[in-house]
Structure formats: C-alpha cells, structure tokens
C-alpha cells in the first residue's frame, strides 16, 4: 500500500481512502432493517484505515438509500465523529427537470431523509442529461448549487457524471471542489486520465467510482460479458482474462489489483466502493491494505486495452 497522502484539493471536508457507495437495490433495503455495511462504517469510523465517507444520492433506490442512512444516524443520536456524508442533487423523477426550483426541492428532500441541516459534500448529479446552456442558465442547477454553498447549506460542492469531456468542462469553471468520475479510470479504461490531471491542477478533489467496471474486474475468472453496464468491447474481454491470469500467477486477486490501481494513485482523493455487508466492507479494506509489488502494476499496464476500447477515447468531445 503506498504511503503518499492522496490530494484532496480545496475540500472543506476530509475523505478516507475508501468511500462507501450506497446505490443499493431498493428491494434489498426493504428486506433488511439495516444494511450491515452502513452499520460497519458508522460504528468503526475511528479505526485505523477505516472508511469514514458515505456517498449517496437523492435518487438512489427512490430515496430509500438516504432514508436508510438517516435512520441509522438517528439511532446513534447524530452523525458519529469523523464520518462524512455526501449526497447529490437529482432531476425531478417524473419530468426530468433540472431547474433551480427542483434542485432546492432535491436538497430539502435529502436534508429531511438524512436528518442533516448542512450537507458536508453536495454534488450535481448526471448533468449529461441537459446541455451546458441549460446547466449554467440563471435558473439552472449550477447556480442553484453554488448558492447552496454560499448560503452555508453545503460545506463543499462537486460535479458527478459520466462522460469525461463533459466533467472536464465543469471542472474548468473553477466552481466545484470535487468531481466524481465512474467506470472511466480503471485497469482497462483510462478515459478520465486528462480529467484527473486537470482537476488536480485546479485544486479539485478527484473521487473515483466503479473501479471494477460494474463487476467485470471483480468476478474473474467468470467470463466478462459487460463493462460499465453495457456489452463489453472484445479488447476489454481479452484484457480482463489476461489480467486475471497475471494476478493469479503473482498470488493476488484481480479485484485487489483493480482497487489498488485507484487507491495507490495520489491524485485520487478517495475511491468509491459498493458493499451491502460488513464482511464485504472488511474485505475491501483488506484488499486495499495488502502489499502488491509495483512490478505487478507495470505488467498490468502492458495489458491495458487500446484507447479504441475506452468509453471516451482521447480527443472525445461532449455536445455543448
């Protein structure tokens, strides 16, 4: 495990190396009185190497994710010391509206579910669904989010979405403290490489999510059929198979290597990992802490698919 401290830019909150992602299935939440992964994080936030950040969204599981987190916080009489909660402003689920009015309603819904007056880290979620003109309009979501920070309703603000060129445009406005990229900085896809460099240069904390590509890098030796929830490019299928065999020869799991590809990079402020159970949380922490020789990553680098297989190859643009 590398000793370098990850770069956290100008964030007003501290992030642990790993963040618990909570885009849980609604049926799973309804089935369980509590989600044990959440309990594990809330109760062990002061442990050395513990996960201390919980990431959610207004829309995850139709609001049940935030509600489960809020209920767990209330059972403890408040947010345990050292724990940071991050959530996201989402469009209207019926109309798709990203208006300022909808953003304010999204914030209020999240505050009520979570039981928080101030959100430590608040993102605008998936703005690729609208144009830049709509996003930055006077009555658009960006101005609404900035106003929330100025009013003290959020400590830090960020942008979270898919296409790397789009996210880079948002980062270059210097309005945001953090950026979440997902499925685009992994062992087999480097679409977000330029975005990461630009963000770090501007003091924006980089949050890297979906480092397993929707499970493709976590299930080896199971054959890969999808990456980032879409049919996998043949080059990605071949690369995952070769990487799995390489890791096996070195006596490490491909899942651990996929995780550490992100966590060993000092430009990454935190890596988001999903888990339902306490045992899974403990496994993720263990995977991050095992020693993997740097030569393994050199060998894995040689197996990286060409840019043609990436979601956003170099030179990609996003409609404005």
Three-class SS state of 287: helix
Q: Which residue pairs, CB below 8 angstroms and at least 24 apart, start in 260-263?
A: 260/1, 260/287, 260/288, 260/292, 260/297, 261/186, 261/187, 261/211, 261/297, 261/300, 262/185, 262/186, 262/208, 262/211, 263/1, 263/2, 263/17, 263/18, 263/288
The first and second tokens of residue 183, run together, are: 């499925």
pLDDT at position 34: 65
Q: Are 171 and 144 in contact (CB under 8 A)?
A: no
Q: What is the distance between the alpha carbons of residues 141 and 158, in angstroms, rounded to a whole number?
A: 12
Q: What is the pLDDT of residues 90-116, one digit of tens each?
A: 999 999 999 999 999 999 999 999 999
Of 113-117, 202-206, 233-237, 274-278, the one with minimum mean pLDDT is 274-278
Residue 53: name the closest of 119, 127, 142, 126 by CA: 119
Q: Where are the alpha helices (DSSP H) in the chain?
A: 26-31, 36-43, 64-75, 100-114, 132-135, 141-150, 164-171, 193-201, 234-250, 254-263, 278-289, 294-301
pLDDT at position 109: 98
Residues 6 or more apart whose Cβ sits within 8 Å of residue 151:
none
Domains (ranges, CATH) in the chain? 18-213+263-289 (3.20.20.100)
For the cut 60, the answer to whether the pLDDT of residue 296 exceeds it is: yes
The mean per-residue pLDDT over the stretch 76-85 comes to 96
pLDDT at position 78: 97
Is the entire prediction scored with pTM above 0.85?
yes
Q: Are 158 and 207 in contact (CB under 8 A)?
A: yes
């Amino acid at each position: 495990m590398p000793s370098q401290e990850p770069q956290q830019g100008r964030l007003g909150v501290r992030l642990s190396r790993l963040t618990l992602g909570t885009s849980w299935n609604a049926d799973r939440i309804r089935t369980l009185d509590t989600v044990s992964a959440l309990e594990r994080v809330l109760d062990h936030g002061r442990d050395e190497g513990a996960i201390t950040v919980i990431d959610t969204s207004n829309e995850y599981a139709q609001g049940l994710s935030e509600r489960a987190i809020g209920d767990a916080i209330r059972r403890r009489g408040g947010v345990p010391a050292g724990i940071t909660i991050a959530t996201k402003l989402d469009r209207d689920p019926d109309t798709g509206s990203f208006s300022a009015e909808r953003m304010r309603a999204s914030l209020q819904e999240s505050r009520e579910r979570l039981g928080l007056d101030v959100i430590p880290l608040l993102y605008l979620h998936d703005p690729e669904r609208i144009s830049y003109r709509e996003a930055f309009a006077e009555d658009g979501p960006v101005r609404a989010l900035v106003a929330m920070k100025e009013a003290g309703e959020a400590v830090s603000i960020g942008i979270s979405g898919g296409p790397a060129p789009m996210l880079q445009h948002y980062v270059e406005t210097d309005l945001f403290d953090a950026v979440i990229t997902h499925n685009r900085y992994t062992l087999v896809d480097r679409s977000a490489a330029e975005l990461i460099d630009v963000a770090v240069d501007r003091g924006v904390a980089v949050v890297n999510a979906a480092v397993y590509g929707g499970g493709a890098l976590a299930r080896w030796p199971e054959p890969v059929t999808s990456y980032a929830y879409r049919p996998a490019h043949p080059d990605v299928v071949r690369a995952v198979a070769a990487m799995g065999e390489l890791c096996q020869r070195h006596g490490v799991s491909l899942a651990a290597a996929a995780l550490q590809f992100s966590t060993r990079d000092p430009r990454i402020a935190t890596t988001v990992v999903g888990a339902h159970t306490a045992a899974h949380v403990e496994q993720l922490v263990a995977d991050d802490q095992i020693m993997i020789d740097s030569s393994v990553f050199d060998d894995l680098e040689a197996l990286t698919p060409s840019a043609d297989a990436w979601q956003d190859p170099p030179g990609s643009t996003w409609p404005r």
